[in-house]
């Protein structure tokens, strides 16, 4: 699913930062991998590249067979809509839209008909255990429930790759555990490839493989 070969990412700004310094990493379809490492070690940069939000400075980057390093901005945007979904620490829900409307959004963007979008959104909210909250606004939901809506939104398009950046970072231990189990059950039921950045040892233990970064390099790659 993912193949990185000697990937470098250098941010040329006020201060030049080498965020990824020669990363070679291969992740198979259907794997669930935790990415760990200190702050600033390049974890989010990795997700941005793999998700087609940004391009490497050098090196080869293949995701789902597509050569992302060579794609235009427009091609990458299409790639993102069809192949990748994201779950963030801070949920990133639209505050004025209901849970169901938030989940429908990627289907509208993909041009699916209204009725189909609604039906699939409600079904997916059911899968994450939120059938009783479909008309609530994000403000009217708990943190764990908001993250479930974000996960439903990520799942609704059927994208084969799910990228999660500290999905349990804002939740207490019990709620975080529920979200982890939900991700794991999705991974098992749908075969979704999941790459999850986490600082939490316990969250990492739920994954089949842990890749550790330091200073923009992979320093450890272990299977549990």
Ligand X SMILES: Nc1ncnc2c1ncn2[C@@H]1O[C@H](COP(=O)(O)OP(=O)(O)OP(=O)(O)O)[C@@H](O)[C@H]1O
Report, in Å, the least distance between residue 156 CB and ligand X.
26
Judged by CB under 5 A, does residue 44 bind Mg ion? yes
Judged by CB under 6 A, does residue 16 bind ligand X? no
Report, in Å, the least distance between residue 219 CB and ligand X.
13
Report, in Å, the least distance between residue 44 CB and Mg ion.
3
Judged by CB under 5 A, does residue 45 bind Mg ion? no
Three-point CA angle 57, 35, 223, nearest 5° = 120
Site for ligand X in 40-99 (CB under 6 A): 40-45
Site for Mg ion in 75-104 (CB under 5 A): none
Judged by CB under 6 A, does residue 39 bind ligand X? yes
Name the residue nearer to ligand X (CB basis): 50 or 156: 50
Give me the residues that bind ligand X (CB under 6 A), please: 11, 13, 17, 19, 37, 39-45
């Amino acid at each position: 699913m993912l193949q990185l070969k000697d990937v470098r990412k250098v941010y040329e700004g006020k201060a030049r930062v080498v965020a990824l310094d020669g990363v070679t990493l291969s992740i198979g379809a259907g794997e669930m991998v935790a990415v760990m490492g200190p702050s600033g070690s390049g974890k989010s940069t990795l997700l941005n590249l793999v998700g087609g939000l940004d391009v490497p400075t050098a090196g080869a980057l293949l995701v789902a067979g597509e050569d992302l390093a060579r794609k235009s901005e427009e091609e990458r945007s299409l790639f993102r809509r069809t192949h990748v979904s994201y779950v963030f620490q801070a949920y990133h829900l639209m505050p004025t839209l209901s849970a169901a409307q938030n989940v429908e959004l990627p289907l509208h963007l993909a041009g699916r008909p209204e009725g189909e979008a609604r039906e699939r959104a409600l079904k997916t909210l059911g899968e994450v255990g939120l059938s009783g909250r479909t008309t609530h606004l994000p403000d009217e939901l708990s943190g764990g429930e908001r993250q479930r809506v974000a996960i439903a939104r990520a799942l609704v398009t059927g994208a084969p790759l799910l990228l999660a950046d500290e999905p349990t970072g804002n939740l207490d231990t019990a709620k975080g555990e529920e979200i982890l189990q939900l991700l794991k059950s999705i991974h098992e039921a749908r075969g979704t490839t999941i790459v999850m950045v986490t600082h939490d040892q316990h969250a990492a233990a739920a994954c089949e493989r842990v890749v550790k970064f330091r200073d923009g390099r992979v320093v450890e790659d272990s299977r549990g």
